[in-house]
Every structure is written in C-alpha cells, then in structure tokens.
Structure 1
Amino acid sequence: MSLHTQTANLLLITTETSESERLLGGLREEGLASKSVSVPNADRLAETLTQRGCDIIICFASDRDLDLDAVLTAYRKLSADVPLILVTDGDTDAGLTIKARRAGVRDLVESGDSERLKLAVARERSDLFRRREADTLSGRLKDCEQRSLEIIEVTSAGVAFIQDGLHVETNPAYLGLFGFETKDDVLATPFLDLVEPAAQKRVRDILRVNTSQITSTPIEFDLVCRRTDGSPFGAHLLAAPSEFEDEPCLRLILQTNASSPAPNASNQAQGTGNEIGLISFLAEIEAHIGNERLVDRDFAIFYIRIKNSADLLRDLGLTHALELFEEFAKTLVEIIAGTGFLARLGDDGFGLIVDDLGAFEAKSLAERITSQARLPGQRRATNDTAADCEIGYFLVSDRAAAAEDIVNAAHRLCIGHDFSERNHVPGQQPPTSLAARVKQEVEDEDGDVNIARKIEYALHNDQLKLVYQPIISLMGDNQENYSVLVRLLDEEENLLEAKDFIGPAIRSGLIEEVDKWTIRSSIRVIGEQRKAGHNLSLFVNLSEDTFRNPSIVLWICDCLREFDVRGNWLTFQFQEELVVGNLASLSKLVETLKKIKCRVAINRFGVSERPELILQGLSLDFVLLKPSFAQGLADDADKQQRLLQLATLAKEFNVKSIVTGVEDARALTVLWTAGVDYVQGNFLQRPSPTLEVQA
C-alpha cells in the first residue's frame, strides 16, 4: 500500500468528547485517520497503545481537566515510536513549548486551526510509516547479513574479509584451502603473502583501491596462490566491497581451478613423496567432479597393492624390500603407459584413475595389470604363476562421494578380495546365469518405471504423506521425539509404504526429491507444533544421494528460516551400512549440521563388526539399534549380551541409544536393565498420521 493511502489509528487524550469528535471528523474526511480511541488521562498509556494498535497520539492540552504533566511523563517512558501532537489554546506560553519539546512532542497546534492539525497529522503519519518501513528493511538487511554469514560458514569456496590488506575474518574452507590450522594463524598473514609474485601487482592494485570506489559488480580473474607449505594452486578470485562488523572491507571469494596441476604430480608415479602422492591423487579425483558432486565424466579408481609386502619387509629387510617396491613401481609405470593418472599412495600401494571405463573394460585392465605387473624375477618366489599384486577397483558415476571415500572403497575391495580368483573380481557381482540375470534386470526395470511414475505423480500432486512413530524415553525424558516415515498415495488411492517405493526411488534418481519433500514437511510440522506449545522433535532419514549433495545443508537452512524452526529440534539419521563407504563425506556433513545445531543419529546401528570406529569418526547424538536386536530378546542371552555391549559403548561416547522394533512387553524390562535410553516399536505404537501418543 502507498504511504499516501495509508490511514493512521489515533489515540485521543481528552475529557471533552465533542471537541475530539469534531477534529476527528475533519481528519477522516481527508483520509488521514481510520480508527480512534479516546482516553481521559495517561494511565496505562503504553498498554493502551499496544492493545489498540495506535499510530499517533493527539493530546488536548487545552482541556482544563487534563493533567498535562502526567501525560508528558508517561510519554517520555514509552519505548514505542508513536508521535505526539499537542492541541493547545491560543495563548501558549514559552514554558509549555519548552516542556513539550523536551518530552519529545512532535508539534503544537492551536485548537481552532484545523488545517494546521491536518498538515501535522499527514506529516507525522508519513514520517512514521517511512520509519517503520526503514526499520523493516533494516531488519531484513540484518537477516540477510546473518544468512550470508551462515552460508559462508558452510560453503565449499574459500571466503575472506580483507581490511588494509590483512585478513579480518575467514571461513573454514579458506583455512583448508591454504593449509592454516586455526583462524588466528591467517589473521596475522597479509593476503599478498598467499599470492604468487606474478599476480601480486594486480592484487595489490585491488587492495589499494578504496572499497567505495569498487563497483557492486565483483572484480574477477584467475591467479596462482601459495599454500602454507609453499605448494602452488590455481584459483579464481572474486573481489567485491562488503562490510564486516559495520566496517567497510573487501570480500574475497576463492575457488580452486579443477584443471590446475597438483604440486609435484609429475613425480608421483615414480614413487616419490607418498603423502604428496595421496594429495595429488585426491585432487585429481576432485577434478573429475563438478558442481553438486556430479561426475562430469565416468571414471574408474584402481587400488593396486604389492602382495605379501609385510612378509617381504620381514624376510628381506627394510632397504632391500623398498628397492624391490621401487622396481615394481617402474614396471607398473611401463604397463600403464599413459592409460590414466597413476600415483604412489604408500610404500606398497598405488592409485590409478582411468576415464570412461565400463565394468567390462575395468575388469580387463585389472586382469592385464595383475598378469604383467611382477616383482623382479630374481627376488620373487619360485611360483611363477602366482600374482604379485592385488587390485580393487571402483566405478564412479552420477553423484560422487568425497574423494577420500572413493579411494577407501577401492582400497577395501583390494584388501577384501583375491583377484587371482578369476570368478570373483573385485567391483563385480558374482557370476550368475546370464539368462536369469537378464530376466531379473528386465523385471526390476519394468517395476521401477511403474513405481517411479507413481512417485512423480505423488510429488506433483501432494500425495506423499508423513506418519510418525513415537520414540519413548526409558529415563524420564519429557521431549516429544518421533521418527518420521513416508507413505505414498498413488492415482488409485493405494497407500504404499516406504519399503515399496524407496528402492525404485533411489534407482530412478528421485530419492533426493522425496527426501527434500520429507525434510521441508517435517520442519513445517515442527514449527506448527512448537507454536502450539508441544516440545516436539523429529527424526528424519537422509539417503545416500541426498547427503552427498553439498548444497543440502543450505537448503535445510532455508527451510528452518522459512518456518522459524531451530536446528536442535531436528535429528538427521543415516543408515549404518552407508556410513563406512561415506565416512569422509559424512564427517564433513555432520560437522556442518552441528554448526546449525541439528542433531545426528545412525540408524540400524550394530551391523558393522567394529561399531566403535563409527562413534570415533562421527560426532553423534543418537544411535538407533537395528530392529532384529529386539526380536525374541527376552529369550536370547546372546542378544542381550550384545545389546548391553552396544548400549555401554554408546554411553562411553556420550551418545544416547534407541532400540527399534520393540514388539513385546518382556523386552522392555531387558532394555531398561541394559541402560537403553529410548525405545521404539509397534508394541508401543504403530506409525500414525497423528502426533499423539496413544494409551
């Protein structure tokens, strides 16, 4: 609405209602006032203004029965921005004018001058609404600034604020980019010291320019920067004027060039510098991955390990064994001969990246390397047919995990399988009947297409539904915790459970859309329930595709802000079987989720042989034990012992334990004795579309 068309609500302070009605009628005719309320004195002035939503106060100082001093005193105590106009009699003395001005009165108008009063009300109305608009814009600006700082904290680009050439603030990605351990280290370092000499003149020119002289369009160019260890890297710089703590400064955004060479990469295949070799290998993986962790071109990762290296070190001694490993490395370089990017990742391990390989080509390359990469003949065992190395390979396509996770996957396949067994190649499915496999793939594809169509229909027609299952505390916690489950209503009004459509959603690439719908809907429900006075907290599962998306946290922040929900009212949970293969990716994600105060849980906990490694690697709030632990628990001593071990282990890491799948009352006694914190299951309550715990 235009400021010129807005009307003001008036508060009239007078005991003479006839005079006030006359003046009010004139203001209404001019469209300056809409509603009004009259009070005989200034008692409870602040309360009246708040309850009645008044914009302007008109006090009739000419009213002999009115205590003007009390009005001015009460007005001085107001915290609200409400202008006051005094209507006086004709013989206003200088003392009253001074007293009114000191109290903050905006204008004094003689009682007979209706035109002057109209002008005064119009002016004060316009000024008041403009001040309110300015306050609103100021609040929005502060929200935007806060939002920008939150985004800066979680973005993968390096961001720094520079004043007089020095760092005044940086984000974690900036520290990692240059290799600083703490923020204090970089705050004492001039930005020019982090730039190669060839680019220093251009950077110096930008730093010398007053920030007010830089246009709002960022200045951007490519340059070469230098890490704390002296190694160079290419980056793209964007510089723009900004403010930090109300002081003008320069905001720098640095993004590494994927094509920039990794330090000392040329020597890695020959086996020099294992640590640098790993760094360059990880950098090469990242160069294959674009925005949103999407793979620009498919590639294969091979991990090649010298077989029985520990025995060779023991039998031949350190120096002779290392010489042997060096000879093997040279042989490997000759075999690869430009096939891909090769790096030495350890004394006995090598990494290889090859583009555009399918499963069949990767298998053929692994077989060729295994048959040809041999230790020097005079130092090998006499069995000439045995392979001298082990290989694991991992095909990367679609959305990729962190580079560390990709390397770890290939390494696990290498150490977990013997490639000499030709019927069981690492990275491949065990051989089955070709006809049976083709038939199964066709059936799965047809079924997935049908379910994918139902999912798309549900997403576009709001046919996904949330149901909730309570998580009950055994220790007297008053938090209202619920696990969120998703149901799908198709075109024929058939209700599908998650187990019926989640698999096809993953295979058809729709799981991220389902997850986003679930997250936003859950946050909206939390906002509604919290406003209604319920102490609600929801547990939401994230799939692998979703948590690999680096922008998912920013999207979560938007949802939290949209519905005014705090992060600690939301718990994100990950399946344990996905954690081991994505530990590096999840470690970064969990750290970021903690920054926005969200809680983190592992679902189906207890599957891995060494669950303590997960508790050590991730900062968790909860572990949800797999449902099979609760099945027949009261009669199974082994299960009871294992459950006690897991609950005790969780307590050692200050993590709350939740047992799911509880189906009978006898299990509750065992769980309480074992020190389990929470329970969940159909025995307590089946999933329900309502958020009320049933008796």
Structure 2
Amino acid sequence: MDPDNTIRLLILNDSEQEAERLISMLRNAGLPNRAQHVDGEDRLDKLLQEQTWDLLIGHEATTSIAPEAAIRRIRRLNRDVPVILLTDDETGTSVVEGLKLGAADVVPLDEDQHLLLVIQREMENREHRQLRRLADRRFREAERRSQALLDSSRDAIAYVQDGLYLYANESFAELFGYSDRDDIDCLPIMDMVANKSQDSLKQFLKEFTLKGDEVETTKLEFDGLKQNGEVARINLEVSRATYDEEACIQFLARAGVTETSAELEAQIAQVKWQDLATGLYNRQYLMNHLEALLSKGNNATEGSLIHIDFDNYSEQVQSAFGVANADLALSDLAALLRTHSNDDEVLARFGDNAFALLIPACKPGVALQRAESIRRALEEHIIDIDDTTTQLTASVGVALINDTSSSPNAVIEQGISAAEQARREHSGNAVHLYEPDMTADERRERDIKAEVQNALDNDRFRLLFQPIINLRGSDNEYYEVLLRLLNEDDQEVSPKEFLATAAKMKVSHKIDRWVILESIKMLAEHRAKGNQNTRLIINLSNHSLCDESLPPWLGVAFKAAKLPSDAIVFQANEADITNHLNAAKAFAQNLQKLKSGLSVTGFGCSLNPFNVFKHVPLSFVKVDGSFTQDIQKNNEKPDALVELIKQLHEENVTTIVPFVENASVLATLWQAGVHYIQGYYLQEPSRSMDYDFNMES
C-alpha cells in the first residue's frame, strides 16, 4: 500500500461522530483519506456509479442502509470495493455472519490497531488485484503476439496433447506436405508416422510423459508420413509446454538445421555456458537454470542456493602462487567443489572468487548440512601448486528457494547477503542461512530516522519553491515553500517520507522553525532585489500549530528580517486543524494580530469540512489534490470539485487547486471560479523564486 495515496473511503454509520472519529484515527495513523458518509441506498448507488472508491467501512447495525444491501449493490455494479464491518458483538457470531455476507473482515468496534492492520491488508490486496488485472491484460496481449509469431515462424512448430495435434503452424504443415495447417488440427500423431516408427514413437512419448516436469528438451527422430504417402526422416526437438492454457508437448523442427550445424550449435553452447578457468558452468547458465526452476511454480520451486565466497582470497592466493597461477588455484578449488555436487545440481563460478551451487530439491536443514560440509572440506583442503601450498576458508550463505522467491536476482542477493553476514558475525569461515531480520518498511524507517537526525545536526535540509498562479489577475506573486532532505548521497528525500518519522522523533517543531527562518531570510533577499509583490506560503506541522510560543517568536523573526508579516501565509493540514480546533483558532487569531494569515490544505476530505469556518479564521483554502487527480487520471466528472468550490465561495475565502498536471482541466477550474492553481503543468518546484508571473497576466 502506497502511504502517499489518498484512500477514497465510504462510511456506513448512524453516528456521524463515530464516523469522524474513524477518519481522524486513520489520518493520525498516517493514512490520508477522503471520506463520504452514506445515508441511503440511492446515495450509495450514485456514489458507486460516479466515482472510484477504495474501501467501505460500516457498522453492522447501521439502519440507514443495511451492510447486506451495501454489499449486494457493490457486487451488482461489479465494483472492487472491499467491505469491512465493525461490530459491538463480543461472541464472535457477528464475525461469522459478516463473512458469510461477503465482508472482507469483521472487527470489534474499539480495536483500532486491529482495524488499521485489516485496512492495510485490504488496500494491499486491492492493489494486488489491480496489478493482476493489468498483468492479465498484458498476458493476453503477449499471447496474441506469441500466436502471431507462431503462425509466421519459419521453424516448424506443433503442440500435441493426448496423441492429437492441438495446433500446428504453416511451416509444420509444409514439413509433412500439407498445404493447409487446418488439415492437421485434432489429427492423431500416428496418422503422420510411418508404420515402422510407430512403436518407438509411442514408447518415447510414454516415457517423456512419465518423467513430468523433470524432463528437459530432448531430441526425437522418426520416419514421418507425408500427406501424399511419401516417407521422410523427421528430426524434432521435444519439450513440455502450455498452449491455450493446456499442458501439452511441443514439437519443434528448426528451419535449415542440418546435422553439421546442430553439432556446431552444441559446441557453441558449450563454450557459451562454460567458465574457461574452472571448467564449471558460468554465471549466466546458473541464472537461466534458476529462472527455469522458479518458473515451474508451486512446490516444484523448493530448493536452495549455496553461495561460496572465499575469505581473503586475493591476498592469500596471489601471495602464495602469484597472479599467473591464480587460475590454477581456482581450478583446484572447482575440482574439490565438484565432489560435493550431484548430477542434477548446477555448480557454477559466480564471480572472481565466488562459486554457487543450485540444488533443485532440498530442505532447509539438508541445505545447511551441505553448506557446512562444503565449508569444512574447504577449510581442510590444501592447495598445492608446484610444491607451494596454502589453505583457504570460505563464508558460505544459504538462500532458500520456494514459492515466495520473486526472481533469480532476489535469490542470488539473499545468498550473497547471507555469506556477508557469516563473514561479519564470525570473521569468515562460517555458514549462515538468509533470514530477513527486518521488513522493508522497518529498514526504511530506521534509515529515515538516521537521515533526519543527520539533517538536523549538519544542516542537510533544502527549500524549494513552487509558484501558485492567480487565474483572476493579481499583483501578488505566491510561492509555496516545500521542504526536502538531502541524504548522504546528496539526493533529495521527499517530506512524505521523513515528516512522519520526524513527528515520531518529536522534532517537527525544530524543522518548522528552520524552514521559517530560512524562508524569511530568502524572501527578504528576494524582495530587496525589487520583487516587493512576492509572498510565501509555509507549511506547519500539528506540533507548531499547537505551540503557543510560536506567534511571539514569529513577531521577533519578522522584525529582525525587516520583512512585513503579510508577506508570509502559514498553512496547516485540514486534519490537524480539525483535531486541534481550539489551538488552531488561537493560532489564526494571533496571526491576524501580526497581519499574517492561516491557510488550510487538504481541504474537503472530512465528513463536514465546512465546520472549520465556524471556529478558525482562514485566509486561503487549498482543496485536497485527490479531487484534481480524479479528474485528470481517473477521468471522473468534475462535479464534486465544482460543488466544493461553489460552497467555498459562499465562505468568502480564496481558493487554491493543486496538482494541475495538464491543460485539459484549466477550463473547468476557470468556470468554477477557482482563484489560484498550482502544479507541474505550470512549473515543478525550483530552488529559486524565478517564475515569470508576467506570462499569466
């Protein structure tokens, strides 16, 4: 689940207060959402037909629309909207009944952490379903292209099942003297085999079938019977395949392949897949076999990869034998490793001084025993070249291959990682089984914490400025101040990645004050060059919004910079203002005394967003970017945004619409009466305030 995406949420609950609590809980957990309270079946139908929704959360006892009716309508409209039900029942009966209705899950009402985990799971499942549908479409397109390639191939290709031809291309038909490939469809194989070859071919196919997935591509030679009765010698490559989602056997006769060229091809293949120094297979051969193993799927993929990385190899081998004889040492080690591998396994030289052993069918315990046996054998082995000897040890990593293995590269990386961990923990000469000790999210949060602390300690933050353009004509030139963090590689890290972590570290207020001081300084310098109409909008965290010491500190900062306080507008998220109404009201009033102002961003996501105007004086309102994205990316009608802007006009506030990414939406925004727009279509964030506002006049 992408934490940057806004969850489009439908809520079924007779209590609007409970619905608001749910929305607030999600936002506090870092899950931005845009919710709609559903109060009837007709309303649900309208919402499902007009907009895209990610999730529905409803109380099982809702009376305005029964959960059963909601689930039925979602199914009838064929919408992918998972339903999560909340229950007061502690007996477990509601869980069973809810699941029978078709709910994705049923969660006790007060178990917020349980609910958050279920929401994250269902959002991830929904994303996976979307990716699967996309993959299905791409797969069907690939099938169409593959079929076209089969039909036009110069190679003779046919697919056989249960002794009948499922498919044959024109080249295969021509091989047997048929003018039309349709004449071969569903024809028995034996009708195209001479009598003297029929018994041997039947035996071949029987043995080939019994071997199942273990069999690789093999050669088949027999006397074929052409349509005109002529007997011809046929040479085919036979392999297992799938055609039209049916398991079958593939016959392939390559165009223009003679016995001599086949021998040459075999010799080339041997050179192509062999490591010349050791005589073992090379890295690419190993990767190909690993790919084939993973492609079998299900339990067939169970196996292990043993990665062998020698400790201090270069120093010891070159010191003992010199560079010229280093390959002899490698060859000696390869010979030892051969004695520890079986015929159905792949032993390859994987790097300069690293080897890998791919074991197709191997339990974890057995793999560790094999790895330990190899490690011990290498430790005891004496390399003897021209009466000079040395001994080496190795760090050995074991990676398990199963149905969770995503790709050959992932398996290889796990094996290398395990070997490196063996070296770190034991200074080499050890075996380690790869075990992920942290999830990707946990590692990322750990790294972000370190980056935030480093940025605070070493001034590693950077400000960017994005213009906000007036559609109605104004002398004022606004920029929104955007914050970036520079990591150790001087790459920018988006605030969406580090601000939540900064809040957990309780350093958000420090970052905010740094941003304010730097912005005031840069704006003062910019205005000193004659740009007196330039103003900035600075974002604040909820910690700063509730900080009573911030307004007087701002007054001092404005005076020190000799900058008029109306040159800066401060901006807070709708969820933060809604959750801290009293603090936001006091902060906005203090800003008014300073002749500054408060803006709200992300507006329009709560159930009753206009409630904020009863408590907090606002200068600007920036609507949530999901409204614009729905129009531009999801091709939804702009009605929701237009209605929201209309209501904001009644509140007499200045409106900003962000995420304007193309010109198609501009006419709609103009007609709706939007005051300001912002987005990459106009200009992406820049390190300087250099936008030419005269172009818009």
TM-score, structure 1 normalization:
0.38
TM-score by length of 2: 0.38
* Structure with more contact order per residue of length (Cα contacts < 8 Å, sep ≥ 6): 2
